[in-house]
Structure 1
Amino acid sequence: MRVVIGRLARQLNASATGEGLTPTQASILGLVTGRGPLGLAELAELEGLNPTMLSRVVGKLTELELIRRIPHPSDARAALVEVTAAGKKVHTRIKTRRTAVVSECLDRLPPETTQILLQALPALEALAEELRAADPVTS
Structure 2
Amino acid sequence: MAVGEEAALSAVGEEATLELVVTLHRLLRSLGRAVPGRRVPPTQLIVLALLTQLGPSRIGVLAERIPCSQPTATAAVASLESAGLVRREPDPTDGRAARVVVTEDGVRALNDVAHSEAEALAARLATLPPEDVQRVLDAGALLRRLAEPGD
User: TM class by shorter-chain length?
Assistant: 0.7 to 0.9
Residues 1:122 and 2:141 aligned together: yes
Q: Distance in 1 between matches of 2:32 and 2:102?
A: 20
Q: Which residue of 2 aligns with 1:9?
A: 28
Query: Runs in 1 of length 4+ with deviation above 3 angstroms?
Result: 12-17
Q: Distance in 1 between matches of 2:139 and 2:61?
A: 32
Alignment match of 2:49 (pick from 26, 30, 43): 30
Give 1:15 deviation, angstroms.
5.0
Residue 34 of structure 1 aligns with an amino acid whose one-letter code is Q
Instruction: Give yes or no for contact 1:15–1:94 (8 Å, CA) kept in 2.
Output: no
Give 1:25 deviation, angstroms.
1.0
Q: Distance in 1 between matches of 2:93 and 2:35?
A: 34
* Bigger relative contact order, structure 1 or 2 (CA pairs below 8 A, ≥6 apart): 1
Which string of whole-angstrom CA distances, capped at 9 and with x for unpartnered residues, describes residues 52-107 of structure 1? 11111110000011000000001011100001121121112112112211111111
Give 1:16 deviation, angstroms.
6.1
Q: Which residue of 2 aligns with 1:41?
A: 60
Q: Percent identity?
A: 33
Give 1:41 deviation, angstroms.
1.1
Unmatched 5+ stretches in structure 1: 133-138
The structure with more radius of gyration = 2
Count of matched residue pairs = 132
Residue 61 of structure 1 aligns with an amino acid whose one-letter code is L
Q: Distance in 2 between matches of 1:79 and 1:28?
A: 15
Unmatched 5+ stretches in structure 2: 1-19
